[in-house]
A and B are shown apart, each in its own frame.
Chain A
Amino acid sequence: MLKRSAAMVLALIIVFSGLGMALALEADGNSRKGKYLFRKSCRGCHAEGQQAKDMSPVDMTQAQWKQLFSDYKKLPCYDKWGNVPEKDVKDIYSYLYGHAKDSPSPAKCK
Chain B
Amino acid sequence: MTSSLDQKISRRGFFKLTGAATAAAALGGSDSALKPGAAQAGTRLKPGFESKYTVCDMCFNKCSAIARVVDGKVQKLDPNPKFLKSRGMLCAKGNAGVRQQYDPDRLKYPLLRVGARGEGKWKRLGWDEALDLAAEKMKAIGEKYTRCGFMFMAGADMQSTFIHRFAKAYGSYNTLSHESQCLIAGTRAFLDTFGEVPIPDMLYAKYCLMMGANRFEALVTPDSIDMMTAMKQGMKLVVMDPRYTKTAAKAHEYYPIKPHSDMAVMLAIAHVLIKEGLYDREFVAEKTYGLEQLAKHVEPYTPEWAATESEVPAEVIVKIARELGAAKPAAMIYPGRRSSNYRDSTQVRRAFAIVNALLGNWDRPGGLTAARMVGLGGGVPLEEPFYENNPADRVDAGRATLMFPEEGSFKLARDAVLEANPYPVKGFFCYHSNPMQTVANRAKTARMFDQMEFVMVMDVAMSDTAWMADLVLPSQYYLERLDPCSAQQGSSACACVVMRDPVVKPMFEAKPVFWVMRQLANRLELGEHFNFSVEEFRNAQLKDLPGALEALQKDGVYYNPSKLYGVYEGRIYKTKSQKIELFNQRYADMGLDPMPVYRKPAQPEADQFRLVVGRNAVVTQSSSTSNSLLMEFQPTNHLWINPAAAKGLGIEDGDWVKVASPAGKQWIQAKVTDMTRPDTVYMETGFGVLSPQLAAHGRGACIAQVLVDDFDQISGNMAMHETFVTVSKEAA
User: Known: A39-B384, A102-B195, A108-B406. Is A32-B575 also a contact (CB below 8 A)?
Assistant: no
Instruction: Provide the residues of chain A in CB contact with B277, threshold 8 Å.
Output: none
Instruction: Provide the residues of chain A in CB contact with B195, threshold 8 Å.
Output: 102
A97 to B384, CA, bound (A): 19
Partner pick for B386 among A32, A104, A105, A110, CB 8 A cutoff = A32
Residues of B in contact, count (CB < 8 Å): 23
Instruction: Provide the residues of chain B in CB contact with A108, threshold 8 Å.
Output: 406
CB of B378 within 8 A of CB of A109, answer yes
A101 to B576, CA, bound (A): 10
A105 to B184, CA, bound (A): 12
Shortest beta-carbon distance from A103 to chain B in Å: 8
1/0 contact string of A1-37 vs chain B (CB within 8 Å): 0000000000000000000000000000010110111
Shortest beta-carbon distance from B183 to chain A in Å: 15
Shortest beta-carbon distance from B192 to chain A in Å: 7
Partner pick for A39 among B383, B576, B578, CB 8 A cutoff = B383
Question: For chain A, what secondary structure do more than half of its interface residues adopt (helix, strand, loop), or is it mixed?
Answer: loop
Instruction: Provide the residues of chain A in CB contact with B125, threshold 8 Å.
Output: none
Q: Which of B371-387 contact A (CB under 8 A)?
A: 378, 381, 383-386
Instruction: Provide the residues of chain B in CB contact with A70, threshold 8 Å.
Output: none
Q: Is B35 an interface residue (CB 8 A)?
A: no
Instruction: Provide the residues of chain A in CB contact with B453, threshold 8 Å.
Output: none
Shortest beta-carbon distance from B544 to chain A in Å: 10
Q: Is B392 an interface residue (CB 8 A)?
A: yes
Among B173, B381, B406, the most chain A Cβ lie within 10 Å of the Cβ of B381
CB of A32 within 8 A of CB of B383, answer no
User: Known: A39-B383, A104-B586. Is A32-B576 also a contact (CB below 8 A)?
Assistant: no
Q: Which of A32-68 contact B (CB under 8 A)?
A: 32-33, 35-37, 39, 61-62
Residues of A in contact, count (CB < 8 Å): 17
CB of A104 within 8 A of CB of B192, answer yes
CB of B574 within 8 A of CB of A36, answer no
Instruction: Provide the residues of chain B in CB contact with A36, threshold 8 Å.
Output: 384-386
Shortest beta-carbon distance from B335 to chain A in Å: 19
Instruction: Provide the residues of chain A in CB contact with B393, threshold 8 Å.
Output: 32
Partner pick for B402 among A32, A102, A104, CB 8 A cutoff = A104
A61's closest neighbor in chain B, by CB? B578
Instruction: Provide the residues of chain A in CB contact with B574, threshold 8 Å.
Output: 61, 101-102, 106
Instruction: Provide the residues of chain A in CB contact with B191, threshold 8 Å.
Output: 104
Shortest beta-carbon distance from B227 to chain A in Å: 29
CB of B586 within 8 A of CB of A32, answer no
Q: Is B15 an interface residue (CB 8 A)?
A: no
A39 to B173, CA, bound (A): 18
Shortest beta-carbon distance from A98 to chain B in Å: 9
Shortest beta-carbon distance from A100 to chain B in Å: 9
Shortest beta-carbon distance from B170 to chain A in Å: 14
Q: Which of B349-400 contact A (CB under 8 A)?
A: 378, 381, 383-386, 390, 392-393
Shortest beta-carbon distance from B605 to chain A in Å: 37
Among A32, A35, A61, the most chain B Cβ lie within 10 Å of the Cβ of A32
A104 to B409, CA, bound (A): 16
CB of B392 within 8 A of CB of A32, answer yes
Shortest beta-carbon distance from A96 to chain B in Å: 14
A30 to B386, CA, bound (A): 11
Shortest beta-carbon distance from B529 to chain A in Å: 13
Instruction: Provide the residues of chain B in CB contact with A109, threshold 8 Å.
Output: 378
Give me the interface of A with B, judged by CB distance under 8 Å: 30, 32-33, 35-37, 39, 61-62, 101-102, 104-106, 108-110
Give me the 7 closest cross-chain CB pairs, A-B, nearest first: A36-B386, A109-B378, A102-B574, A101-B574, A104-B402, A105-B405, A105-B404
7 contacts between A and B (CB under 8 A): A32-B392, A32-B393, A33-B386, A39-B383, A61-B574, A102-B574, A102-B576
Task: Identify 11 new A-B residue pairs, CB closer than 8 A, beyond the known A102-B575, A105-B404, A106-B574.
Answer: A30-B392, A32-B173, A35-B384, A36-B385, A37-B386, A61-B574, A102-B195, A104-B192, A104-B402, A109-B378, A110-B381
